[in-house]
Structure formats: C-alpha cells, structure tokens
Amino acid sequence: DGAFYQPVRYEKHCQECHSLQIQQSLPKLHIPHGDSQKVRLFLAGLESSIESSVRATGVKEPVAVSNRVKEEKEALRQRGLFSLEDLQKRVFLQGDPQDVSGERLMRSGKPKFLTECAKCHTVNEGGNGFEMSVQAPQIPKRWLSKGAFNHLPHKASACIDCHGAATKSKLTSDILLPTQQSCTECHQPFAAGKEGVKFSCQNCHHFHSSYTAPLLEASSRPAVPSTPLKLQP
C-alpha cells in the first residue's frame, strides 16, 4: 500500500555483491546465512561439504572424488586457511583479502571473494575463539513511530532524490532518513520556479492527530476548567 517497504533480505538484496561462496571452484558451496551455530557446524564439517559439492559437479568415481577434495583443501591452504580457527576468523571477522587492484571482485563476472559477517553485522568473538556469534540486526519496521509517511505518492521520484546519502554510506549503522531540507525542496509554495506540492504543517505532521497515540498521557495533560473563565470588571 506504499506505507511500508518489504524488509531487507540477504538472499534477495545483498547476496549479489556480498557472497558467502567459500570456494570459487565450487559455486554451490555457500556458508549458511542467518544462524551462527549453523555457520560453526558448517565450518567444522567443511571437508564433508566439499565432498558433497564435488559429487554435485558430476564427479562420481571414488578416486577422482578423493583427488578433487584434496585439491580443494590445498586451495584453502593457499588462501591461508589451515585450521578451524583460521576458517572462523576469515568467515566471521576478516573476509578474503582484497585483490591486487585494491578492490573486491564484484559484479564483474570474475570470481567473488568471501565477505565476512562483520562487514554487515556485530560479531561477538566468544571466550575461546570457537564460539563466535552474530548479533541479529535491529532494523525497525518503521523509523518514525508516529509518522504515517507513505511512499506511494512519491513513486515518481527516484530513491536517491530523498535518500541521496545512501550513495556515500559506508557503515551499516548509518540511518539514511531524508532531512527536512530534502523534503522542503518540493514541499514549498514554489519549487524551481513552478508551483510546489502541498506544504502545510498538517501534511507532514498529521501523526499528532487523534488516530495515533496522543502526545501527552492523560495524567500529564493540563486540567481543563469546567466553567468558562470570567474576567473581572
């Protein structure tokens, strides 16, 4: 209905750039997303997952499977991954190093590097280094709890018209709400020499109306006189 947008989903909105593919030669071998315990179990049993992925590529003969698994494990060692602790640090905290040009290879048709959990999430390292966990992101469904802003009347505008700061954002902690100035570029009597759109206080601040929670609780409201005030002569 325009009042809300669907929540951000890794598989739909993030995966294209932030890959969890752990081995470039095994495109179907991905680290699970959304559950820290499943990630730790996946890494602990990585050799078994590699074997299953090798078989999924069409390699069936036991000796060929064994040789391919050895090749994949050697490729991991060449990336500096020698132990479970190395794997956990790479997956949760570090990610793969940058390529020689200083940038990750994304959207270019070239192999994607592994993106670390800490790129987007807060990671708790745990006491012994093997209990790393990821805090669930806290993204409100509605940032202005008493504001009934609707995107539908603004569908003719591009997202960056109001959320231009998103193009320069580097941190997942950034809150990219439009500023009042960005609103008044259109919501004013005259915009760019043309008649502007609605700009009364009520157009933006109608969340003060009675259909939402009152601004003052009953106990804090000033008392209203029961009889009209009379001025002394």
pLDDT level of residue 61 (50, 70, 90 thresholds): very high
pLDDT at res. 215: 40
| Residue ranges making up the domain that contains 161 | 152-216
Same domain, 63 and 164: no
Question: Is 233 among the domain residues?
Answer: no
Same domain, 110 and 14: yes
Question: Is 24 among the domain residues?
Answer: yes
Same domain, 80 and 46: yes
Question: Is 80 among the domain residues?
Answer: yes
Question: Is 198 among the domain residues?
Answer: yes
Question: Is 5 among the domain residues?
Answer: no
pLDDT level of residue 138 (50, 70, 90 thresholds): confident
Same domain, 98 and 56: yes
Question: CA 37: distance to chain centroid?
Answer: 20
Same domain, 177 and 90: no
Same domain, 185 and 88: no
pLDDT at res. 142: 73
Same domain, 50 and 124: yes
- Based on the structure, what is the number of domains in the chain? 2
Query: With pLDDT > 70 as the criterion, what percentage of the chain qualifies?
Result: 71
Give the residue from 108, 134, 160 where a domain finishes: 134
Q: Is the pLDDT of residue 213 over 70?
A: no
Same domain, 102 and 164: no
Q: Give the predicted TM-score (pTM) of the model.
A: 0.67
Same domain, 127 and 191: no
